Amino acid sequence: MLTKRIIPCLDIKDGRTVKGVNFVNLRDAGDPVALAAQYAQEQADELVFLDISATEQKRKTLANLVLRVAAAIDIPFTVGGGISTIEDVAILLKNGADKVSVNSAAVKNPKLIDALAEQFGSQCIVVAIDAKQIEGQWKVHLVGGKEPTDRDLFEWAKEVEQRGAGELLFTSMDHDGTKQGFANEALARLSVETNLPVIASGGAGNISHFSEAFTIGKADAALAASVFHFGEIAIPELKNKLKQQQIAVRIDK
Amino acid sequence: MVAIIDYGAGNTKSLQFALERLGASHILTSDAEIIKQAERVIFPGQGAAGSAMTKLIDTGLDQLIPTLKQPLLGICLGMQLLCEYSEEGGVEGLGIIKGSVKRFGGTVKVPQMGWNSIYDPKSPLFEGINEGDFMYLVHSYYVPLCKETVAISHYNGPYSVALQKANFYGVQFHPEKSSLKGQLLLQNFLKLPA
């Protein structure tokens, strides 16, 4: 049966791995390629690289990193961060990325999703959505969660599905960095309102949080960064615990 | 030498790296002569069936592929295109394997994305790969069970996760992305008598 995926997220700045708490205060957590290879060996199911650098060399640095990652690992990986054109996507896929994630650029120009799905196929287009609750309503936010919009999370999710997205990566800004668990209610609703695979992001602190994201939140995958990077949760142990709880996970013999 | 058929349909970098890790020399090409002469051929594919078939027809590769005699491995869309017809865009495939490609229906999420277990593997491709081993898949369309099915998986019911007819092999999953088990499958393909 199709298994639930565990996805370490590597935030990348200028070719190095970083992780911010609530997207600010960055701490260095190592070399992305070495970290990626280590996670692949620990049976992470997939990796996400999120590039947060804002330099002119950004594209070239990222494309180069993608190539090095593709050469080193044999599990799928997604690349995101500032992707806004067909050319951006073409070079990343050409260098070996399996999927790309688009976020702010898609909110500003929703037709980008149609164009990318048409050109490259839905299977490689992940739409990342950062949202937080404002007066009880889940509102989509831009630029790493700093800028609120009027868009409702669920309406936007349905729209991106219509436009050809192949997967949703939902980050709750209310939960990100808190280590208090994922936004399970909103996650479950995303699975009801769309028919796309959903990656849960934001809030992982312990193993129970992952099982809750899969059972209560009905997520297809759960993403986390610092709990993995700083060794607070080891992926083999996490997967064994999930398996004991009858949650389908991949454990290669 | 392994010829990877280049028809502009998707990402072949990971496949090339996987072959490199196995020490297999390979070339990405659309040249009919090189493909004909190659010891083995890999037919990758990604994206929509319609635009992929258009590219194959434009380059004449649609005529060449069914005549090949060496072991050929279709991956993902490459496997689906070995069939006669795809519901995706209502296009005709290469017709090497009878049957058509259908879209996942029912209550499952589409695309199927992730690692699924495979059952009943019965082809030299699966030597050392066991019941219940996992492979990585991303697809919205599937090949129903048929007489060429050589491994099955389940997603809203059983379907063909691998096909074989004579020298034509196909896998729905991405061996190049399926960690050690995927690597083993590629290794098995490289060992098939040419």
Residue-level pLDDT at A25: 36
Cβ of residue B181 closer than 8 Å to a chain A Cβ: yes
Residue-level pLDDT at A151: 97
Rg (CA), chain A: 17
Q: Which of A45, A88, A130, A176 is catalytic?
A: A130
How many Å apart are CA B128 and CA B118, to the nearest integer? 13
CB contact under 8 Å between B10 and A74, yes or no, is no
Name which of B83, B70, B77, B72 is nearest B148 in CA terms: B83
CB contact under 8 Å between A122 and B180, yes or no, is no
Quote the minimal CA–CA distance from A243 to chain B in Å.
14
| φ/ψ (deg, to 5) at A2 | -65, 130
Specify the range with the lowest mean pLDDT, choosing from A215-219, A229-233, B67-71, B179-183. A229-233
Residue-level pLDDT at A24: 35
Residue A34 — pLDDT band, cuts 50, 70, 90?
Answer: confident
Any bridge partners for residue B27, and if so which? B3
State the average pLDDT for chain A: 92
Rg (CA), chain B: 15
Q: What percent of chain A has pLDDT over 70?
A: 95
Is residue B32 within 8 A of residue B68, CB to CB? The reply is no
Residue-level pLDDT at A19: 55
How many Å apart are CA A102 and CA A84, to the nearest integer? 7
> Is the confidence at residue B114, as pLDDT, over 90?
yes
For range A137-162, the mean pLDDT: 93
CB contact under 8 Å between A74 and B110, yes or no, is no
Q: Is A130 a known active-site residue?
A: yes
What domains can you pick out in chain B, each with its CATH number?
A: 2-191 (3.40.50.880)
Instruction: Write out the two tokens for B148.
Output: 């060429």
Cβ of residue B119 closer than 8 Å to a chain A Cβ: no
3-state secondary structure of A104: helix
> Is the confidence at residue B141, as pLDDT, over 50?
yes
Residue-level pLDDT at A23: 33
Q: Which of residues 34-73 of A touch B (CB under 8 A)?
A: 40, 43, 45-46, 67, 70-71
Specify the range with the lowest mean pLDDT, choosing from A195-209, A238-252, B48-62. B48-62
Specify the range with the lowest mean pLDDT, choosing from A170-179, B43-52, B91-100, B174-183. B43-52
Q: From the list B46, B115, B130, which residue is nearest A121 (CB)?
A: B46
CB contact under 8 Å between A166 and B176, yes or no, is no
Residue-level pLDDT at A58: 83
